[in-house]
Amino acid sequence: MKTATEIILRLVCQLGLCVLLVLEIQVASAQNHLPMETEADFHRAMDELSNWGRWGDDDELGAANFITPEKRKQAAKLVREGVSVSLAHNVNQEPAVDASAVLNREVLRVSPTGASDRYRYTGSYHGTIHSHLDALDCHIMYEGKGYNGVPYEDVEAADGCPRGSIMAHKDGILSRGILFDATLLPGKATADGWLEPGTVINYEDLVALEEIQGIKVEPGDIILLHTGRWKRREALGAWPTSDGVAGYHADVAYFLKDRGVAMIGHDMWNDVAPSRIEGVFLPLHSLALVSLGVSIFDNLDFTDVAETAKELNRYEFMFTAAPLRIEKGMGSPLNPIATF
């Protein structure tokens, strides 16, 4: 039996207004989430979007549970050309205004039989320069708790992440990756091919990119936002985050929930800055990691993969990543790969 909506739609289509009505319905469906403009909106969303307990009280994977064996097999079928592209930036070894830490590479031995060196970060690999994956339960907390209720007191007592550490992904990550190339959005990018610091990408922009790129986000997907950060940095030099960061608006959290997104990534720290929510710093980090259980890749580099995707006219690929096996670790540097 047809619903009343279907009957009305059929009648309207017979009047020649079908295309217009369908477009209006699509726009409305992309705007049916609650507002995300104030601190109160943020706190409400932290509660209403929560996935705590959805996969059990002791769950350590969060939305990565959407990456099922069947999802992995589907992702593997995306490999057609056999072309692989790195999604990480070169490990930073030089001081810069956007680098809170550098990697010190020290040569320890050189001899006729070989050589060795030592790597040491001067600070945390977290921040705005090193490509890394955040551990789900401990890196970001809200009201003293991480995803699925891990309290900060337990982290202190364990001297590390007692549950939901980076070891949760010791067997690697493999799923369908989608590059959202924000430079394709009308009016967003400069003529040089990047978004200026502070440019907002919201829920509706992601829906628009689905249409532009001919792709639809499905449960278990990993979505990656290209803003041209590294291209701009190479052309104009590093800039402080106080000057702004192009990135996701906090209302993207509703998109993540609606579509069952497993993980997100970005060429900076994911959140737009300023955040547009007064009094809340990096709201999407809290909404994704703590409430939704959506893991976050920071400071990836999509310059090469954006060119490859444009050449192939294909913005989906097999995504793989292998974090280091670090017990109680709160994240890991890594080099994700897109394979077409």
Q: Does residue 140 have a pLDDT over 60?
A: yes
Q: Is the pLDDT of residue 27 over 50?
A: no
Residues 185 and 104 in one domain: no
Same domain for 206 and 103: no
How far is 215 from 157, CA to CA, in rounded Å?
Answer: 45
Residue range 136-159: average pLDDT? 97
DSSP SS3 for 145: strand
- Summarised one tens digit per residue, pLDDT across range 230-264 is 999 999 999 999 999 999 999 999 999 999 999 99
Region for residue 23 given its phi and psi (left: phi exceeds 0; alpha: psi -120 to 50; beta: otherwise):
alpha
Instruction: Look at the block and give the residue holding tokens 């430079």.
Output: 183
115 and 224 housed in the same domain:
no
Q: Domain of 152: which CATH number?
A: 3.50.30.50
**What is d(CA 94, CA 91) in angstroms, rounded to the nearest whole number?**
9
Q: Count structural domains, the chain.
A: 2
Structure confidence by residue, pLDDT tens digits, 98-124: 999 999 999 999 999 999 999 999 999
Cis peptide upstream of residue 240 (ω within 30 degrees of 0)? no
Q: What are 331's strand-pairing partners?
A: 134
What domain range includes position 116?
94-128
- In a shared domain, residues 111 and 43: no
Write out pLDDT tens, residues 276-307. Answer: 999 999 999 999 999 999 999 999 999 999 99
Same domain, 208 and 113: no
* Among 74, 104, 128, residue at a domain's last position: 128
pLDDT band, very low/low/confident/very high, at 29 (cuts 50, 70, 90): very low
User: CA 143 to CA 47: how far, in whole Å?
Assistant: 12
Task: Give the Cα separation of 129 and 152 in Å (integer).
Answer: 26
Q: Looking at the domain assignment, is residue 15 inside a domain?
A: no
* pTM strictly above 0.85: yes
Q: Is residue 72 part of a domain?
A: yes
Q: Do 177 and 222 fall within a single domain?
A: yes
Q: State the pLDDT confidence band at 31, using cuts at 50, 70 and 90.
A: low
Same domain, 195 and 59: yes
Residue 254 lies in a domain: yes
Among 16, 7, 4, 29, residue whose Cα is nearest residue 206: 29
The answer to whether residue 12 is domain-embedded is: no
